Amino acid sequence: MGRFTTTTISLLAALLLQVVFGPPLTILGVTPNFLMVAVIIIAFVRGSKEGTIVGFIAGLLFDLVGTTVVGPMALALTLTGFVAGILKEQIFATGWVLPVSVLGIASLASEGIYLVMITALGVPMSFFAALATRALPGALYAMLIAVVCFPIMTKFLGKGTDVEINTMKSLR
């Protein structure tokens, strides 16, 4: 399968998981963001350009299935996809522990950008309370999902790439 096909399938699978299983898997008010996890992993495997484009599309889809303003998550995931791609190209090491940790940081940053945007757009909420009670647990939740998804997605997205080889080595 080509890169376009595997990326599209990954994105659609993440959207399906988000719509079908996201709401029921809410824990203490925190809903998992499968689309964000997919964007960061795609950016890790494919680099910053693909991460940026996929981030924009995934963010727009997230906004469209939600109920608040359309656009903030598109911006947040565009930036996240770009930064995750850059981080991967700059500091990637063998194994999956570092990528998953970086994914946690990237998802926290993404939630932070989203919060800034929706707060600026007038959604009434305490920024720091939301950061502590939603964004931080959300990032930990994303890391938990990534532990399961990272090996599967890297294998699916990039057979033969350094990311996939290193991940598989570390799991053996």
Partner 1 sequence: MSPLTSKGFGKPGSYLRDKASGSTGSRGSYAGGGGRRRGRSGRFSNNDHLNPSDDGSPRKPYLWLTILIILSIAITTMWAREADTGPLHTVRTAVQTVTTPLEAAGTWVTAPARNFFNWIGDLGVSRSQLQALVEQNDELRARVVELEELRLLDDRLTALMSVAPTGTAEADVLPATITGLPSSSYEKVIVLNRGTRDGVGLAMPVIASQGLVGVTIEVGPNYSKVRLITDQSSGVAALVQRGRDLGTVQGSLSGELNLNFIPIDAGVEVGDTVLTSGLGGIYPKGLVIGEVVRIADDHNTLYMPLTVRSMVNFDRLEEVLILLNAPPSTADLPEPELQAIGVGD
Looking only at residues 104 through 143 of this chain, which bind partner 1 when binding is defined by CB under 8 A?
114-115, 117-118, 121, 123-126, 129-130, 133-134, 138
Among 12, 159, 169, 171, binds partner 1 (CB under 8 A): 159
CA distance 50 to 39: 9
Say whether residue 12 binds partner 1 (CB under 8 A).
no
Each as own residue / partner, the long-range contacts of residues 10-18 (CB below 8 Å, 24 or more positions apart, any chain) are 10/38, 10/41, 10/42, 10/153, 10/156, 10/157, 11/35, 11/38, 11/42, 11/54, 11/57, 11/58, 11/61, 13/38, 14/38, 14/58, 15/58, 15/61, 15/65, 18/62, 18/65
88 binds partner 1, rule: CB under 8 A:
yes
Q: Give the nearer residue to partner 1 in terms of CB position, either 135 or 149.
A: 135
Give the span between the Cα atoms of 16 and 19, in whole angstroms.
Answer: 5
Tell me how far, at minimum, the Cβ of 75 lies from partner 1, in Å.
4
Residue 16 touching partner 1 (CB under 8 A): yes
The angle at the Cα of 20, spanning 11 to 28, to the nearest 5 degrees, equals 105
Q: According to the binding rule CB under 8 A, does residue 4 interact with partner 1? A: yes
Restricting to residues 30-49, name those near partner 1 by CB under 8 A: 30-31, 45-49
Number of residues that bind partner 1 (CB under 8 A): 73
Query: Minimum Å distance from CB 1 to partner 1?
Result: 7
- Taking contact as CB under 8 A, which single stretch among the options 60-68, 96-104, 143-151 is the one that binds partner 1? 60-68
